[in-house]
Structure 1
Amino acid sequence: MNASVFSCGFAVIAGPPNAGKSTLLNRLLDCKLSIVTPKPQTTRKKITGIYHDDSSQIIFLDTPGIMQPQQKLHESMLAVVRQTLQETDVIIALIPYCKGADHIDRDFTTELFDKWLKPVSKPLIAVLNKSDLVSPETQKQTETWITNTFSPVSAHSVSARKGSGLDKLIDALRPHLPMDEPLYPEEMLSTAPERFFVSEIIREKIFLFYGKEIPYATEVVVDEFKEQHENDPSRKDLIRCSVIVERDTQKQILIGNRGSALKKLGQAARADIEELLGRPVFLELFIKVRPDWRKKQHLLKSYGY
């Protein structure tokens, strides 16, 4: 490896809920690392994904969506964003295109740059996602408005869902990566432990299978993770998880008639966990009620917020 042409550093992905931050991370890594659902505010914690190629290693930091906090959980999520912005070398400001007169939310974009990103004084790259929703002419006009209004290092239109424009984004990031040697081995995709991704997979299924307030009132805690295959390859790993909700009615909805909903949840989660780990697992889910856990600092802290 020629160190003189190699670059390495951290790039945070920041933007509003449902901008496509997790989809972008997964597409860049060509791996489903961050959970993705149609509902906003799916990501609650920082997720690290490590991109490798012959001339660079980019440690991407996927963060919760920036929004107006309504409870202590939201405040904790936004604290993660603030801390991560301080730790990064370059910031990707991810702004989604939308159908409408302006094609982006200009008021939020202004707040994002002026209140959140520019005060950090880090190199800023504006990335306009969901470019497949608008015409090339609209893309060019919007990139020009972003550039003239906020003076980022560069502005790019991409489609994380379709994978277009990502090579140019990587090229734009490289000059802002300060290190000339990789921090992590090439086979490493994340710094997070397996049990973190187990809990995220279960949360993703809850977001996909349940409506209304259930996904937002739910937290998943891995209580036990026994890698039993190491001593006996015929034995399944044992994973026990607590699914935390705020009310008894939510517990009943999660369980369903005679446990049918919980069984469906467990089967879907187990299939993805086994694909992630590459081995069979025995998954047990227990529903626990912790009233107003999203508003209680000591509970949030115990859940890793």
Structure 2
Amino acid sequence: MNSEAQRSGAVAVIGRPNVGKSTLVNALVGAKISITSNRPQTTRHRLLGIASFPGGQLQLVDTPGIHGEQGKRSGKAMNRMMNRAARGALEGVDAAVLVVEAGRWDAEDGLAFEALRDAGLPVVLVVNQVDKVKDKGSLLPFIAKVSEGREFAAVHPLSALKRKGLESLVETLLGLVPEAPPMYAEDEITDKSQRFLAGELVREQLMRQLGEELPYATTVEIEKFEEEPSPKAGVMYRIDAVVWVERDGQKAIVIGKGGERLREIGSRARQQMERLFDAKVFLQTWVRVREGWSDNEAALRELGYHD
């Protein structure tokens, strides 16, 4: 690869739920633009992360995890929409990254690979979370088994969380995109608005702080996002966020005893917003009930979900 030639292109980041796709995108971009948690299906939207390097720019398309339709808690319509969003991310990209968990390959990993193969894209296999593998000698046999009968442009074992192994991955990906000038300015990190990111940061705290089932029945809508001058901080944002649930009992759980849980969710989300926006944030949160929103495609679109 000519080191002087600038390269620029789009790369889809694909995989089953909860393998670290968003963590990888955040690590490559160098900023937190995709929310993360230890729960599957944290990512519900297709999101562009813009990663600029001396050799070029990668437009990384972070996607919901590709999964089967059975046994999921996020609602049938939500499932269908997320799968369509993930598969739609393959249109118009130059290459794809298939993220898998080190030591684990199951039917949903195979489903993701088949989607990439059918799209005719060069596929880079990223074996993530190698820092959690105690027996490092098991990695090579695992990679050999996964690669049997499947064609990969390259294989990169790495740890997105620890930011280890990223340099060689970047070099590989830049080699797979065309010679072209950057599509975005060097200081741009995503195509999403601050309003969208604010809603995602509130939803991240719902995913992180609520019980096993409830996060899948919640979503967040930003009703107000206003910028005003601040004598101390330069800029302050006033944000009103509504947490939507499907039943009254869920509303009580999100609010918590004396409003304690909702205050904690709001406080942690506000801290993340201030870090990301580099500004003072005044955040107010409410919880409201809308029955069956997660299995109603019209309601999903009203709440900002697209495929």
TM-score norm. by structure 1 comes to 0.92
Between 238-247 and 273-282, the greater mean CA deviation after superposition? 273-282
Q: For the Cα contact (< 8 Å) 1:126–1:146, is it kept in 2?
A: no
Cα 1:59–1:253 shift into 2, 3 Å: same
> AA paired with 1:241?
A
Q: Which residue number corresponds to residue 93 of structure 2?
A: 88
Where 2:270 maps in the other structure, the secondary structure is helix
> AA paired with 2:100?
I
Deviation at 1:159, TM superposition (A): 1.2
| 1:132-281 to 2 correspondences below 5 Å | 132-134=131-133, 135-229=135-229, 236-281=236-281
Q: For the Cα contact (< 8 Å) 1:17–1:64, is it kept in 2?
A: yes
Q: For the Cα contact (< 8 Å) 1:3–1:181, is it kept in 2?
A: no
Q: Which residue number corresponds to residue 80 of structure 2?
A: 75
Q: Which residue number corresponds to residue 50 of structure 1?
A: 50
Q: For the Cα contact (< 8 Å) 1:4–1:180, is it kept in 2?
A: no
Cα 1:172–1:296 shift into 2, 3 Å: same
Between 219-228 and 252-261, the greater mean CA deviation after superposition? 252-261
Report the number of matched residues: 298
Q: For the Cα contact (< 8 Å) 2:234–2:279, is it kept in 1?
A: no
The one-character-per-residue Cα deviations of 1:168-193 (angstroms, maximum 9, x if unpaired) are: 11111112112421111111111110
| 1:12-31 to 2 correspondences below 5 Å | 12-31=12-31
TM-score norm. by structure 2 comes to 0.91
Uncovered stretches (5+) of structure 2, i.e. residues with no partner: none
Q: Which has the larger helix fraction?
A: 1
Aligned equivalents of 1:243 and 1:86: distance in 2? Answer: 32
Aligned equivalents of 1:23 and 1:95: distance in 2? Answer: 13
Uncovered stretches (5+) of structure 1, i.e. residues with no partner: 98-102
Deviation at 1:233, TM superposition (A): 6.8
The one-character-per-residue Cα deviations of 1:39-98 (angstroms, maximum 9, x if unpaired) are: 11100001211111111100111101111235100110111111101131101011112x
Q: Which residue number corresponds to residue 129 of structure 2?
A: 130
Bigger relative contact order, structure 1 or 2 (CA pairs below 8 A, ≥6 apart): 2
Where 1:220 maps in the other structure, the secondary structure is strand
Q: Aligned-pair RMSD on alpha carbons?
A: 2.0
Aligned equivalents of 1:205 and 1:244: distance in 2? Answer: 14
> AA paired with 2:157?
S
Where 1:263 maps in the other structure, the secondary structure is helix
Where 2:149 maps in the other structure, the secondary structure is helix
Aligned equivalents of 1:112 and 1:235: distance in 2? Answer: 43
Q: Which residue number corresponds to residue 100 of structure 1?
A: none
The one-character-per-residue Cα deviations of 1:90-117 (angstroms, maximum 9, x if unpaired) are: 01011112xxxxx222443333323x11
Q: Which residue number corresponds to residue 110 of structure 2?
A: 110
